[in-house]
Structure 1
């Protein structure tokens, strides 16, 4: 079943179990930080595709990261990717750009090591229609002066050392 882009945006913006004050995208709120991004993958812009074989025409995704009360919760909704396939997904330090490496390295909370407790890994397994969801929760908060700026979908599931193959697509987070 194909989800319209508006539904993806609504799912990403849906409230979580954490009570949050209204926020300005990408900025601090009285209770924390909320950043998000999404849309259909295009050749350029804030929602960009690097590999059309792994993110076909019409593929789209929406991501939200909320950080409040000592916790960070991240969620991803995607559709139109290849069916029954696993993708590695991580937050990165820079916005998306024309080149896959423009998003920079993985965002790390403590700048010390690559693992699922220090980085946000949202690996995704698609269903028979190419749709999937993923979420992660961490016992640390984001700070407005140092936020992840993008979410990158990788070609392979994340290995224990944090590698996940080439970059397939990217969402700039604001």
Structure 2
């Protein structure tokens, strides 16, 4: 029987006493921000502002990993409205009782509204209300100025013109830690 290459590498690393080479880079150095749970109306870390768009039972999981000059941010949602498009962005402040408490969009280059500077995670849900999005950037998060939340917006992000970056009302918020 042949062992898969990954299992052989793990066994070799464990037997040689060498440090594991398969650990996630963000675990070795860099920044990792996470937030997850079921949206509520009474938990300030994961809150719903519009139950018509983010129903009871809606859940989200967001991770932003930054290392070696790159950042990968991933979002997965479940139990949202089926077949619907949403906007989602990282924001500068933690969630609060009102949507505007999360502050403006996080911008890698302050004042630059674009997919290159902001983290846009628009998604469309399937027939079960599940959706996902990811964004990759060729820059690292600054540990002195981190995004603190993810806001789910009522509509997809406008990608050009005078309303670039706009995505409608704030429907829900998830604090990043």
Q: How many residues align?
A: 151
What residue is the counterpart of 1:106 in the other structure? 105
What residue is the counterpart of 1:143 in the other structure? 142
Structure 1 pair 125/35, CA: closer, same or farther in 2 (3 Å)?
A: same
1:102 is paired with a residue whose SS is: helix
What residue is the counterpart of 1:48 in the other structure? 47
Q: CA deviation at 1:20?
A: 1.6
Greater Cα offset, 109-118 or 52-61: 109-118
2:62/2:75 contact within 8 Å kept = yes
Q: CA deviation at 1:21?
A: 4.8
2:25 is paired with a residue whose SS is: coil
Give me the whole-angstrom Cα distance separating, in 2, the residues matched to 1:122 and 1:146.
20
Q: CA deviation at 1:113?
A: 1.5
Structure 1's consecutive aligned runs of 4 or more residues displaced over 2 angstroms after TM superposition are: none
Which runs of structure 2 are paired with 1:22-171 in the superposition (5 Å)?
22=27, 31-45=29-43, 46-160=45-159, 161-171=164-174
Q: Which whole-Å deviations, capped at 9, do the CAs of 1:83-102 have from their partners, x for residues lacking one?
A: 01110000000000000100
* Runs of 5+ unmatched residues, structure 2: 1-21
Q: In angstroms, what is the RMSD of aligned CA positions?
A: 1.4
Structure 1 pair 94/82, CA: closer, same or farther in 2 (3 Å)?
A: same
Q: CA deviation at 1:143?
A: 1.6
Q: Which whole-Å deviations, capped at 9, do the CAs of 1:131-167 have from their partners, x for residues lacking one?
A: 0111010000002111000000000000020000000
1:136 is paired with a residue whose SS is: strand
Q: CA deviation at 1:106?
A: 0.1
* Runs of 5+ unmatched residues, structure 1: 1-16, 23-29
Greater Cα offset, 36-45 or 163-172: 36-45
Which runs of structure 2 are paired with 1:2-17 in the superposition (5 Å)?
none
Q: CA deviation at 1:44?
A: 2.4
Larger gyration radius, structure 1 or structure 2: 2
Give me the whole-angstrom Cα distance separating, in 2, the residues matched to 1:131 and 1:34.
24
Give me the whole-angstrom Cα distance separating, in 2, the residues matched to 1:62 and 1:104.
20
TM-score (norm 1): 0.84
